[in-house]
Amino acid sequence: MSGHAFASVIYGRLFVTLPVPSTTTDLSNQTIIVTGSNTGLGLESTRHLSRLGVGKIIMAVRTVSKGEAAKKEILKSTGKPDSTIEIWPIDMDSQDSVKAFAERASQLPRLDGVLANAGLMTTQFTLSEGNEKTLNVNVVNTFLLFFLLLPAMRRSEQQTGFACRFVIVNSALHMAAPLAELDAPVIFDRLNDSKQALMSGRYPLSKLLVLYATREIAERAKSSNKGKFIINSPNPSWCKSDLGKEMESFGYNVAEKIMARSTEEGSRALVHGLLSDETSNGQYLSNCHVQVPAKHVTNQWGQKVQRKFFEELVGKLEAIAPGVTSSL
């Protein structure tokens, strides 16, 4: 972990208590999707949304039975009607699953928020659908979901006047991403090469790439008159969750106990992203505020890599679903 990333975790843990989500907006007619919502940050975010009175929450999960169990637990704690939560299957490591989910979601009468919470952290190199698995889940298929849902998001805004929020979980670890991997003729080729991949830094790098794509999408959408949306990327900081289970050791467990936020407190940052206004568009959020990300995001080198990477990502998404990025 870089010094800046470590300082961010320490500051957030010792000096910041995130506000419990609240809103004066009536959410009873809204529909919000949460991926990876049967456990961890997704579960607690869904609980907050239920408590706040969201009319329809779609818990997008890989295993429906686990989703049903989580739904039962959430409704028991919030006292909301069974009809306010639906369980839909999605596997973020499967392009076909993401396509099927998006096709179904595009039929919804309205779409007010998507919390792309499902993610992967591993140091083991595995190819999945032609991509290293962390990249496939955290980046490629997450933005495939975004672009597949974008027409429905814009249509919803035109009908309701409420801009849909698409929120992708980030991390202060983007500050510690191994930048050498990005100095390549074709970035994806380098990252998908098992002999060159720096898997110890792959999760931080995936979050840096999420920031690049988030910022580029927001910038390119400025000149569009196809309907508004808001995309942002909040950092919940280090939280107690199953995400780091592969890293578990005595030292890790002790550090987690001392420095990690509770899962519930971390989820407040994600719900804040869903409730944020247009000032959050294209932004990195930390401690429930817009924050300046690492200098390798904002400086001239970072801007160049951002554009290059995004063009590669668009090419990859177009190969998966021709025409999918034309809606931007």
Which residue's structure tokens are 């830094």?
201
How many angstroms separate the CA atoms of 226 and 135, rounded? 29
Strand order in the sheet with 289-291: 85-89, 56-61, 31-35, 113-116, 164-168, 229-235, 284-286, 289-291
Residues 6+ away with beta carbon under 8 Å from 249: none
Supply 143's token pair.
């933005």
What are the residue numbers of the active site? 203, 207
Going by DSSP bridges, is the β-strand pair 131-132/127-128 parallel, antiparallel, or unpaired? Answer: antiparallel
Residues 6+ away with beta carbon under 8 Å from 268: 18, 19, 20, 21, 48, 236, 288
Would you call 219 exposed, middle or buried from its count of C-beta atoms within 10 A (0-12, 13-18, 19+)?
A: middle
How many angstroms separate the CA atoms of 41 and 244, rounded? 13
Q: Which of 216, 117, 118, 113 is nearest to 165 (CA)?
A: 113
How many angstroms separate the CA atoms of 171 and 18, rounded? 16
Q: Tell me if 196 sits within 8 A of 190, measured CB to CB.
A: yes
Mark 291-322 as b/e (b = at least 16 C-beta within 10 Å).
Answer: eebbebbeeeebbebbebbbeebbebbeebee
For residue 13, how far is the Cα from the chain centroid? 21
